[in-house]
Amino acid sequence: MKYLVIGATGNIGARVAQRLINSGARPSVFVRNEKRAKALFGDRADIHIGDLENPGSSLDRAMAGVDGIFLVTDGSDLEKRDRAVSFAASHAGVRHVVKLSTLDVRTGIGTGAWHARGEDAIRESGVAFTFLQAAGFMSNALGWSQSIRRDGVLRSSTGEGRIAFIHPDDIAAVATACLTTRDHRGQALVITGPEALSYGEMAATIGKAIGKPVRFEDITDGQAYARTVEWAGKGAYADALVDIWRAVREGRLDTVTDGVKRITGREPIPFDRWAKENAASFQ
Ligand SMILES: NC(=O)c1ccc[n+]([C@@H]2O[C@H](COP(=O)([O-])OP(=O)(O)OC[C@H]3O[C@@H](n4cnc5c(N)ncnc54)[C@H](OP(=O)(O)O)[C@@H]3O)[C@@H](O)[C@H]2O)c1
């Protein structure tokens, strides 16, 4: 079987491509940046260069002989790229597309509406699909590293609200299981970490991992927006993040499922393990 990973130089895609390599497969990767792909995979993957914004024939070439695709797209207009990939896949005879989506499709919170349109485009293409409706990623916590390193503080507008962040390795494990079996075709799978935690609890867990107390400081939506605009700029992404944090605060994003266990056969990785693995980022 031949697999193509789109988004292979990113957080989740790189892990999926690496898992395929570790299982003895030789995946294809569709990337904008050849150097980054070479640094990640050496000569253990077939590298196809292209840009989903303007794929030309590069996507068709990358899909020749491919059985399954793992697809990562982002942005408020990701539907365009999901459409381009799924229709090209359908045309090329690819049997299955596994899309990294979000739990928020179910509520329309944050980026949920973007991914809902992406999922619809893939359904329209007629290609068999699996949608991974993931909870927030544990790796989002790396965004707290500067204030934790500098001030020993995690500032957030999430109040006492809880969310069950999922470890990126669990997402990659689920994605690889879905790609390499026929078991989950036609399904939208909600996958979360093992327990919903408040940001205060996660601050304390990071504190334990680095051997220094980390304080949680509540901020308003307005303050959270102003801080986000500093690095993300004004626009749909900053709006989506503040919307997500508000939903966490209001207890609308505390879903916990057994998706990871059902699909991989093992328990999802807890946040304290992620914190230990990433302690150096917070010291
Ligand atoms: N963070 C969360 O809590 C969360 C929760 C649920 C769902 N999600 C979803 O997860 C996805 C993000 O996953 P991630 O963290 O793995 O993303 P990421 O690390 O930002 O990686 C994105 C990948 O897409 C590639 N890419 C971007 N634009 C491209 C284009 N025009 N043509 C070809 N490749 C392109 C990037 O390539 P370059 O290396 O060239 O930039 C990179 O490989 C988003 O859809 C997000 O909504 C996130």
Separation of CA 6 and ligand 1 centre (Å): 9
Distance 140 CA to ligand 1 centre (A): 13
pLDDT for the residue numbered 250: 98
Task: For ligand 1, say whether the CB of 53 is within 6 Å of any of its atoms.
Answer: yes
pTM comes to 0.98
Which run of H or E residues covers position 216?
A: strand 215-218
pLDDT attached to residue 243: 97
pLDDT tens across the length of the chain (283 residues): 999 999 999 999 999 999 999 999 999 999 999 999 999 999 999 999 999 999 989 999 999 999 999 999 999 999 999 999 999 999 999 999 999 999 999 999 999 999 999 999 999 999 999 999 999 999 999 999 999 999 999 999 999 999 999 999 999 999 999 999 999 999 999 999 999 999 999 999 999 999 999 999 999 999 999 999 999 999 999 999 999 999 999 999 999 999 999 999 999 999 999 999 999 999 9
Containing 102, the helix (H) or strand (E) segment is strand 96-102
- Best mutation site among 71, 72, 191 for ligand 1, i.e. most ligand atoms within 8 A of its Cβ? 72
CATH topology of domain 3-134: Rossmann fold (3.40.50)
Confidence (pLDDT) at 8: 98
φ/ψ region of 223 (left if φ > 0, alpha if ψ in -120 to 50, else beta) reads alpha
pLDDT at position 70, please?
Answer: 98
Two tokens, residue 87: 């229709």
Tell which atom from ligand 1 comes closest to the C-alpha of 111: 47
pLDDT for 117: 98
Q: What is the pLDDT of residue 23?
A: 97
Task: List the chain domain ranges.
Answer: 3-134
Which atom from ligand 1 is nearest to the alpha carbon of 81? 31
pLDDT at 133: 98
CB 198 within 8 A of CB 161: yes
Per the CB < 8 A criterion, the answer to whether 132 and 105 are in contact is: no
